[in-house]
Amino acid sequence: MNNEISAEFEVVLKRMKDKLDIKSDRALSRAMGMTDSGVATARSTKSLPIIPIVRTCIAQDLSLDEIFLGKDPSESSVQVAIVVSQVNDIVIRILDRVFTNHSLPPEQHFEAYKRLHQTLTKAAFENNFSESIVTTIAEAAVVMWK
């Protein structure tokens, strides 16, 4: 194992130990569902136990970015918030445009808007933020709503 990979291996294991408040390799092995010598074996075979690390991170709600890359998880949260805000802006713009083209009675307009906002937000994420696909879904939904 070259020094760079070896150092990264140790850094990842140290981050896991720190996050789980564990001191020994044996305790880390157990926490990750490995045999008592799992971490020692991984170290000797120069193989980072990625699957046990990922499973443990998921089970313990630890940030994979933080464990593997050393990134602050709050940075990821900020990025997610920005994306959600941008999607929300797109959905509102689409809804405004679609409802301008289709007149519904005020009570139906409000109810349709409320229900479609959530559906279109989900559709935006599922369709790689394609505004044209989300607009098509909105148009079809409003026509069916009439």
Give the helix ranges, DSSP H, for the chain: 3-20, 25-31, 38-44, 50-60, 64, 73-101, 106-126, 131-145
Digit-by-digit pLDDT tens for the chain (146 residues) are 444 556 688 899 999 999 999 999 999 999 999 999 999 998 888 788 888 898 898 889 888 888 888 887 766 655 666 777 888 889 999 999 988 888 878 878 888 888 888 889 888 878 878 889 999 999 998 888 76
Q: 107 and 67 in one domain? A: no
* Residue 46: predicted pLDDT: 79
Q: 52 and 86 in one domain? A: no
Q: Considering 22, 45, 71, which residue would you say is the last residue of a domain?
A: 71
Q: 32 and 15 in one domain? A: yes
Q: 63 and 9 in one domain? A: yes
* Residue 3: predicted pLDDT: 46
The CA-CA-CA angle for residues 34, 36, 42, to 5°, reads 65
Q: Say how far apart CA 98 and CA 121 lie, in whole Å.
A: 15
Q: Considering 17, 39, 71, which residue would you say is the last residue of a domain?
A: 71
What is the number of domains present in the chain? 2
What does pTM read for this prediction? 0.50
- Identify the three-state secondary structure at position 35: coil
Alpha-carbon distances of 114 from 82, 92, 110, rounded to whole Å: 22, 11, 6
Range of the structural domain that residue 56 is part of: 3-71
Q: Considering 40, 55, 71, which residue would you say is the last residue of a domain?
A: 71
Q: 90 and 141 in one domain? A: yes
Q: Say how far apart CA 94 and CA 71 lie, in whole Å.
A: 35
